[in-house]
Amino acid sequence: MDVPKDHARRLRQALSLARRDALLSQEDGGPDGFGSLWASMGRRGLLGWSVPAAFGGEGARYAEMLSAMDGFVRAGGRPGLALSWAVHLIVAKTLIAECGTGRQRREILPAMASGKQTVSIALSEPEAGNDPKGIRTRAVRSGNRYVLDGEKTWLTNGPLADFFLVFAVTARRNGRKSFSAFLVPKDAPGLVVRDLPPPGFLEPARHCAIGLERCTVPAASVLGREGRAWEDLSKPFRAAEDVLLSGAVLGGLERLLRHAIQEGRKKPGKTAADGVERVGEAAALLEAARHLAREAARSFEAERGGEAVEHRLVSLHRVVGHARDSLCRASEALGSTDPGGPGTLGEDIDRLIALGGAASRARRRKWGHALLSGKGTS
């Protein structure tokens, strides 16, 4: 099957970036090293893949970016960089380009495409995580402005961000919260950025926390429909993140599979039968997961959410989990001295899988309720 020219070029760019990232990972680059790498990605056009062509980008589809994420990590790129990269691409394509006003798109998207600006999602809170029931940050309208108060934490790309997309409660009706999202500049009065220590995994992704104390922004800072941010922005972002990060996970699992095979070949004639079967099982599960990931990407591109996307993401998360389990068992049966693979690869992949755990459980419950009530399809 012929590979479209633009898709082939993006794959080459991803592989080239993987080689550079592999070299950087051997150095103690710290925040400055990551900032330099990020700027280089902007100059080479990698940060503009998802930005519409009208705003200086390439308008890439999710299936193409999924494939590139897979190739990037499979070739040695770090899953942590894939996380930072994926978040940037999703914010540009699915949030700013699709939900922004004409002015917001004109002012932000060209700068995102070149890497001169980054927008960080400010959703998670210290005690609530991403659970809407526990989110306390609020925004109160005062004339043509909003006043925001609250705290956010673990904001991916936060240290690089020029804007924070802050999710805040703007209304309560019948015990339910309504959320709006605000594009808040990093230098807005009342906003304080707090560094977070590196967690020791998913390097070189950078995170921060922010505090909002009577942070005042114009009403024009609202992104999307007022009071509908959870439905219009948060849920699609979560689904898109699961789609793209599945590429990074699959690329990482492929590397772990190759590592297990290499370990097994060091012991000719002594390979345990269980190890042989587990390697074959892991390979089969990875093939099934790639098919599900491609279908999820195409479904999301077509409908931005909905039942088909959710069902494929549920299936994908379960298959990926079983593939990871089979690889662990294969490494154990083969007597591997390094079952986690090179560096922190195994731990990083486990962290990415865990990131999608809560959303996957919620989707499974929703699917189950629909089936039991006679409203769903299997």
Write out pLDDT tens, residues 339-351. Answer: 677 778 999 999 9
Identify the pLDDT of residue 344: 83
- Examine the domain organization and report whether 277 and 318 are in the same domain: yes
Q: pLDDT higher for 24 or 375?
A: 375
From CA 374, how far away is CA 213, in angstroms rounded? 47
For residues 121-136, average pLDDT: 92
18 φ/ψ angles, rounded to the nearest 5 degrees: -60, -40
Identify the pLDDT of residue 200: 80
- Examine the domain organization and report whether 214 and 299 are in the same domain: no
Residue 377 domain-assigned (yes or no): no
CATH of the domain at 311: 1.20.140.10
Residue 1 reports pLDDT greater than 70: no
For residues 215-228, average pLDDT: 97
The pLDDT confidence band at residue 84, using thresholds 50, 70 and 90, is: very high
From CA 319, how far away is CA 322, in angstroms rounded? 5
What mean pLDDT, rounded, does the chain reach? Answer: 90
Identify the pLDDT of residue 173: 85
- Examine the domain organization and report whether 219 and 111 are in the same domain: no
Identify residue 248 by its one-letter amino acid code: A
For residues 274-300, average pLDDT: 92
Residue 22 reports pLDDT greater than 80: no
Which residue shows structure tokens 């802050």?
Answer: 166
Q: pLDDT higher for 6 or 92?
A: 92
The pLDDT confidence band at residue 334, using thresholds 50, 70 and 90, is: confident
- Examine the domain organization and report whether 78 and 90 are in the same domain: yes
- Examine the domain organization and report whether 284 and 157 are in the same domain: no
Residue 30 reports pLDDT greater than 60: no
For residues 195-214, average pLDDT: 91
Residue numbers of the domain that contains 138: 120-227
For residues 95-110, average pLDDT: 97
- Examine the domain organization and report whether 136 and 194 are in the same domain: yes
- Examine the domain organization and report whether 55 and 185 are in the same domain: no
Prediction pTM value: 0.92
- Examine the domain organization and report whether 188 and 238 are in the same domain: no
Q: pLDDT higher for 3 or 203?
A: 203
Residue 75 reports pLDDT greater than 70: yes
CA distance readout (Å), 332 to 74, 233, 234, 240, 279: 22, 42, 39, 34, 11
Of 179, 208, 227, the residue at which a domain comes to its end is 227
Burial label, 49 (beta-carbon count in 10 A; 0-12, 13-18, 19+): buried
Question: In this structure, what token pair is assigned to residue 343?
Answer: 């560096």
Residue 224 reports pLDDT greater than 50: yes
Burial label, 245 (beta-carbon count in 10 A; 0-12, 13-18, 19+): buried
- Examine the domain organization and report whether 150 and 213 are in the same domain: yes
Pairing of strands 222-223, 176-185: antiparallel
- Examine the domain organization and report whether 274 and 189 are in the same domain: no
% of the chain residues with pLDDT over 90: 65
Residue 204 domain-assigned (yes or no): yes
Residue 194 reports pLDDT greater than 60: yes
Residue 268 domain-assigned (yes or no): yes
CATH of the domain at 69: 1.10.540.10
For residues 268-295, average pLDDT: 85
Of 118, 144, 163, the residue at which a domain comes to its end is 118
- Examine the domain organization and report whether 260 and 161 are in the same domain: no
Residue 172 reports pLDDT greater than 70: yes
- Examine the domain organization and report whether 35 and 94 are in the same domain: yes
From CA 299, how far away is CA 307, in angstroms rounded? 10
Query: CA 330, 335, 340, 343 torsion: positive or negative?
Result: negative
Other C-beta atoms within 10 Å of 340: how many?
Answer: 17
From CA 310, how far away is CA 295, in angstroms rounded? 11
Torsion of CA 182, 183, 188, 192, to 10 degrees: 80
Identify the pLDDT of residue 2: 42
